């Protein structure tokens, strides 16, 4: 594993343990050149998944992009990072086990929306405002009021 500090090609594993949700192995490493310590995560990848964008472009599924968008929606909301990691791992597992080699961004967005709806209503609305491409404040208001009505009904 290449050191992120000095780019040396060799590092030693000092400690390995499963993550809390048992979906990855967390490894503490030390660079044999500069001595810096860093953490890596090893996850199972069942197959290469291609994401089909709304303009028909295709790119490989990237867990980091999924993490970034979910973390952005939950920014400053006080949502436990472990809960978000479970959501991200769950969505990745659904994508990989769906049996399809290609998946649309709309389908992934729907999975994220469903997960965020159960975790935090503000994060849900934030994600929806980008995902559904609200063009006017009225669109945002209407969506927020349906979320509020649904919350009252529960």
Q: CB of 113 within 8 A of CB of 102?
A: no
Residue range 56-84, pLDDT digits in tens: 999 999 999 999 999 999 999 999 998 99
Question: Beta strands of the chain (E only): which ranges?
Answer: 11-18, 24-31, 37-43, 50-52, 58-60, 102-104
Starting from the edge strand earliest in sequence, which strands make up the sheet with 37-43, in order? Answer: 11-18, 24-31, 37-43
Euclidean distance between CA atoms 90 and 2, whole angstroms: 28
Confidence (pLDDT) at 3: 92
Confidence (pLDDT) at 139: 76
Can you give the residue ranges of every domain in the chain? 1-43, 46-153
Euclidean distance between CA atoms 111 and 61, whole angstroms: 14
DSSP 119: H
Does the pLDDT value for residue 151 go beyond 80? Answer: no
pLDDT band at 39 (very low <50, low <70, confident <90, very high): very high
Euclidean distance between CA atoms 7 and 139, whole angstroms: 48
């Amino acid at each position: 594993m290449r050191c992120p500090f000095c780019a040396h090609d060799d590092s030693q594993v000092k400690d390995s343990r499963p993550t809390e949700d048992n979906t990855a192995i967390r490894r503490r490493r030390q660079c044999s050149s500069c001595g810096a310590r860093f953490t890596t995560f090893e996850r199972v990848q069942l197959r290469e998944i291609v994401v089909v964008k709304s303009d028909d472009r295709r790119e490989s599924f990237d867990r980091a992009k999924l993490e970034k968008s979910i973390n952005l929606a939950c920014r400053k909301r006080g949502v436990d990072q472990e809960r978000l990691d479970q959501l991200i791992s769950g969505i990745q597992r659904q994508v990989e086990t769906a049996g399809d080699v290609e998946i649309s961004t709309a389908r992934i967005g729907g999975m994220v929306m469903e997960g965020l709806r159960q975790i935090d209503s503000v994060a849900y609305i934030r994600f929806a405002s980008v995902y559904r491409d609200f063009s006017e404040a009225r669109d945002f208001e209407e969506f927020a009021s349906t979320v509020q009505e649904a919350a009252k009904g529960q």
